[in-house]
Amino acid sequence: MSKKNKITFSLITLLLLGGLYIYFEFCNYTDIDIDKVSTEIKTSSKNLTASFIRNEKNANSIYKDKIIEVEGVVKEVTFLNKRNTVILYGNNKNSGVLCDMQSNQIMEIKKLVKGQNIVLKGVCKGFLKDAILLNCMLINQQSNE
Amino acid sequence: MNRIIILLSLLINFMDSDNRSDQVITRQGQVSFFSYTSVENIEAKNNQVLSIVDFSKNEIAISMLMNAFVFKKSLMHEHFNESYIESDLYPKATFQGSIIDFDPLAEGIQTKMVKGTLTIRDITKEVEIKTSIENIDGTYLITGDFEVIVKDFEIKIPPILAPNIAKNISIKFRFEYQPYEK
């Protein structure tokens, strides 16, 4: 290998390593922008909770880690732990859909009222007492008034 | 007249205590973990942790989805779920225990030990955690921290990544409870 080639090879290696470092250090963030990914499943909050209560394993195989669009009625909006969370009524009193909203949704969330019918989109993570959706965004708003 | 007033107030108190739920719940408890090494620091938070406390027995139960931990970097999230925790096989971590010598009626902060079992990846270990419990007009805030040993839960870390992950992981938790109306 000539001296010139050696220098070129070293430079390319350095650039590649630098690029990898920048990617892993700065670009590799968990937060996905839900607006840029397409919906895989559409359902209602009642159907979603009902299917998890009926058979959690089966519901996980359908919904877990999928981008889902959920239509439902607002039960509560909370700002606990510095998170913006919208809770939708489920098919019974004790279970609902817990939606952790993307930070860019704050203005829209503040306008929501209990009993309002909404549709939102997020990544389904599974079920505890509620179905849990992360990275959520509102995709339309229908006032009941 | 005075007797009637006393009787009425006793009755009201009794009805009130009868209606009062012995259980409190949070669906949005927060659990964070930290791994500090000289190579890198790894931190993740789960804000959707479920916990119920039954004050009639001073029992506490906690359940969380392992794939709901949010990391700063997606690669960390991927390694955590796919290689270390294997969250497809073991989706939940749970804790069941008792709060020792706790008086739920006392207002203010009490520091108590919580003894119980922690289950991660279907492996159950006995743990004892010092916790701070604050009672503010019947709503309770439980906070604390403890450490788990990675080896205890048979988490396999490839030798090449071993310097990046601490042998003991610090866990912090914060649960703000509301009365549980069934």
- List the single best residue of A128, A129, A130, A134 to mutate versus B (max B Cβ within 10 A): A128
The CA distance from B36 to B42, in Å, is 7
Give percent of chain A with pLDDT exceeding 90: 62
Which residues, other chains included, contact B61 with Cβ-Cβ below 8 Å and sequence gap of 6+?
B51, B52, B53, B94, B95, B96
On average, the pLDDT of chain B sits at 87
Report chain A residues whose CB lies below 8 A from the CB of B25: 129
Counting Cβ atoms within 10 Å, is residue B74 exposed (0-12), middle (13-18) or buried (19+)?
middle
pLDDT tens track, chain A, 145 positions: 677 888 888 888 887 776 655 555 544 555 677 888 888 999 999 999 999 999 999 999 999 999 999 999 999 999 988 899 999 999 998 899 999 999 989 999 999 999 999 999 999 999 999 999 999 999 975 444 4
Decide: pTM greater than 0.80: yes
pLDDT at B16 > cutoff 80: no
CA distance B150 to chain A (A): 23
| Structure confidence by residue, pLDDT tens digits, B78-120 | 889 988 999 999 999 999 999 999 998 888 999 999 999 999 9
The CA distance from A31 to A24, in Å, is 14
Report chain A residues whose CB lies below 8 A from the CB of B73: 24, 28-30
CA distance B50 to chain A (A): 7
pLDDT for the residue numbered B71 = 92
- List the single best residue of A22, A24, A27, A28 to mutate versus B (max B Cβ within 10 A): A28
The terminus-to-terminus CA distance of chain B in angstroms comes to 39
Tell me, yes or no, if A103 comes closer than 8 A to chain B by beta carbon: no
Matching residue, tokens 């969250």: B87
Tell me, yes or no, if A28 comes closer than 8 A to chain B by beta carbon: yes
Nearest to A81 among B30, B71, B91 (CB): B30
pLDDT at B70 > cutoff 80: yes
Q: DSSP per residue over chain B, as a string?
A: -HHHHHHHHHHHHHHHHHHS-SEEEEEEEEEEEEEE-SS-EEEEEEEEEEEEEETTTTEEEEEEEGGG-EESBHHHHHIIIIIIS-TTTS-EEEEEEEETT--TTS-EEEEEEEEEEEEETTEEEEEEEEEEEEEETTEEEEEEEEEEEGGGGT----GGGGGGS-SEEEEEEEEE-EE---
- List the single best residue of B39, B47, B161 to mutate versus A (max A Cβ within 10 A): B47
CA distance A128 to chain B (A): 7
Nearest to B45 by CA among A31, A88, A35: A31
Q: Is the dihedral of CA B175, B60, A135, A119 positive or negative?
A: negative
> Which ipTM value was assigned to this complex?
0.81
pLDDT for the residue numbered A25 = 52
pLDDT for the residue numbered A112 = 94
